[in-house]
Structure 1
């Protein structure tokens, strides 16, 4: 086997692990929020593997045509969980909320496809200015780092830290960082794969009593979280969240094209938006949430320096196999969540560098710094607050104003349109 084939093979497996680790926890957390039985969650998880693999392949071949993971949106994930936790306050059942979310996603997906078909995205691009996209990247970096830092720590049922497992996660973080910083190209390019395999083996040897067991799947159920309904408030909240989610495509495709020293064409954006809209409309049918290109893929590409598209497409194909062949999915499902989160935590550190580079060397004055500082710091501040803080707000505003990412991006858009920054004099 030639060196190039070996590189492509390990690259494909590394993409598989990266995609899998990003996807596997979403159905579990949402299934728990909707109080879905474990066997139904297992079915939803298998559907997510197949759906994600196909979504990645279609985007790579026909959509934006870049090695960018397409997966469940982190923005919508947080929004859905917030709505579920607010169910009792909203005076609705989980099925009613799930049905309203499904309707909102379907409508947002159809709206996105209409925008793509009639080529109306230049209007949205006027809203998503370079500064807004920089704010988006910074906030996404903080949101992901917070999520995966928390996920790599093991919290017991009593709310206290499981010190041995948490320390093991920290060791994995240091190990992967050292591979990236000190390792030669052949090593650093596969740091994510090496970190996950070494972490997986080490975890199983040190903590055999904590090895996860995969649940058996049941037959497929359509709209498992609730049949579409006309709960207008839930629909509007979900629809707005999905519109903010559109910034994923613009930001991710543009940043990836820079890594590849290319300029993405309008046709690539149009095709990508069309597929993303289609995925958003289909996702709730199978108990999934709206999909979008993962800006975190930028961190993956920066870490591994592997920009060849073929391993990415093969990795997407392997994800489909995980869903089709239960034994394969069950095997990979035993990957410890804390290990996966620890390795992804390192991968997403690169996203911070991408955020800084997105500023393109722009020099901020004591006045113009507000266009960046206000939305970013307000958004991060909200992220660190307990959701209980917002219970004094009107019930239907809580999921929106309690989401620091959405607030920060919307605040950036408002500030950019309110003030003509090019005329501000220091």
Structure 2
């Protein structure tokens, strides 16, 4: 039981933070119910396998692989542009399969030639802390939309859903205080939350499927369609994904070190290569590109589950679920509000991790300047609607439409400039 419950909790955490994205993308591309379940199925398979590959051959840490927010943005962007550029939604999905395969190759090349180590030097405690705050700011919109009962079909607040969501959050914090079950607060919150939603008739019906077992399909949308015009954009996105990878690995390392768990600082090349393999898997299985999720740090901090074994078993559970469409349909029916409310304390704790990163910074004056400029720019960008970028190059859209990426880039540039100015001033003295 000491391994089973932590493993189940890892599996549920991966599900809660992964299922929403493929369902939203499937809706944007007009996929019917069965096609949506199959898309979720393939995505879960890739995410579970990606996590195992990283923990065994990459960074060697229990870090969840989830749908990359950047790729989500690309899917959303081309849901509108794709029909004009490529002719239909299905043709667009074929092009995106090619984009994943290309990204995987670029990832492997950059990692093999040591670019990962060079980029890692840019991720100082200041940058990592700012990245975490921007991450929470970006995710908070999705969290509160879900907990207010807002989705594609409903555009008004459901008071009952909101009240039950608040109750689940309170229960989650209460579970954390109970000595013997505190480590399983996410698990208990999901079970109790789903039961409450069922009792008050806020649960979703489970989609009926005809097959009991179905392996993930290769190139489900057809053979990848090569589009040379995508190369530059995919290269930029890969660099940004690499930046996300480095930030996540850094913050999880810090959390594990505080729990006296051994970590490896010389695994960046292997981590980058495995990330490239994971992008290739996404293209091969017509899924969503995986990326290490910084929320894993909050999960470990909240649950105190630091061992790799429960994570590996939890990822294997995700892979097993992906082979059985009825189970995939069942987990896809979990109310979004329950998932968001149950993991609310996990992501709320990320703010404290960011503040701990800031404590390690010696020059607080530069820290405050960098944080002020980048947070203002990044969070401000999050309020600009995606349709406002319709007339701009897709390459620029991938940066400007993502407040997390834009703010993090601003932070790196401003910190680099201010540090050079400061060094020049010290030399002048």
TM normalised by structure 2 equals: 0.88
2:11 to 4, 12, 16: 16
Instruction: State the aligned residue count.
Output: 419
Change (3 A) 1:371 1:216: farther
Change (3 A) 1:334 1:390: closer
Q: Which range moves more in the overlay, 214-223 or 338-347?
A: 214-223
Alignment match, 2:39: 44
Change (3 A) 1:129 1:225: farther
Q: Is the 8 A contact 1:104 1:236 kept in 2?
A: no
Q: Which range moves more in the overlay, 264-273 or 50-59?
A: 264-273
Change (3 A) 1:16 1:396: closer
Aligned pairs for 1:12-411 within 5 A: 12-87=7-82, 93-155=88-150, 157=153, 159-180=155-176, 183-207=177-201, 210-213=204-207, 215=209, 222-224=218-220, 227-261=223-257, 264-362=263-361, 369-391=368-390, 393-394=392-393, 397-411=396-410
Q: Secondary structure at the match of 1:71?
A: strand
Q: Which range moves more in the overlay, 92-101 or 105-114?
A: 92-101
In 2: Cα distance, 1:348 partner to 1:100 partner: 33
Note the alpha carbon deviations across 1:102-144, whole angstroms, 9 max, x for none.
3332222111112222333222223334333222222112112
Change (3 A) 1:224 1:412: farther
Q: Is the 8 A contact 2:172 2:186 kept in 1?
A: yes
Q: Which range moves more in the overlay, 79-88 or 36-45?
A: 79-88
Q: Which range moves more in the overlay, 126-135 or 48-57?
A: 126-135
Q: Secondary structure at the match of 2:305?
A: coil
Q: Which range moves more in the overlay, 99-108 or 359-368?
A: 359-368
Q: Secondary structure at the match of 2:180?
A: helix
Alignment pair present for 1:423 and 2:423: yes
Unmatched 5+ stretches in structure 1 = 1-5
Q: Is the 8 A contact 2:256 2:263 kept in 1?
A: no
How far did residue 214 of structure 1 move? 5.2
In 1: Cα distance, 2:191 partner to 2:97 partner: 37
Note the alpha carbon deviations across 1:6-46, whole angstroms, 9 max, x for none.
22211111111101111212221111112222212212222
Q: Is the 8 A contact 1:280 1:290 kept in 2?
A: yes
